Amino acid sequence: MSPSEDRNQNGCALIYAGSMANVTVKDIPDDHLAAVALRAKAEGLSMQAYLRRLIAREAAIPLLPDQLREIMAEMRATRTPMSMEEFDEIRRRNHRYR
């Protein structure tokens, strides 16, 4: 199977070769790249492994509307007025909330 290439709305190349994609990101400031390299090294990872893990974590976070829907469902389930502290506690329990 030969790879196919698409570009996203920001012009980043997305190259599909089977079930995995390769991503090319251009115009990354040197200081940003150096900071990422330091973080990867500190965790004993290659830059590729570190960025793959970072992307996987980001992809696992639900979109804000989905998070709000979950919080609202839990609030409705209580059927009583809720203090801001109680709301914050629900938000903290939802470990995926940012």
| Residue 98 within a domain | no
Task: Note the helical H segments in 10-63.
Answer: 30-42, 47-60
**pLDDT of 15-70, one tens digit each?**
555 677 888 899 999 999 999 999 999 999 999 999 999 999 988 877 777 778 88
Q: How confident is the model at residue 4 (pLDDT cuts 50, 70, 90)?
A: low
- Cβ atoms of 28 and 17 closer than 8 Å: no
- Asked if residue 49 and residue 9 are part of one domain, the reply reads yes
The reply to whether 10 and 52 lie within a common domain is: yes
Domains in the chain, number: 2
* pTM for the predicted model, two decimal places: 0.52
DSSP-derived secondary structure letter, 4: E
Host domain of residue 42: 4-60
Contact 78, 89 (CB under 8 A): no
* pLDDT interval class at 84 (50, 70, 90): confident
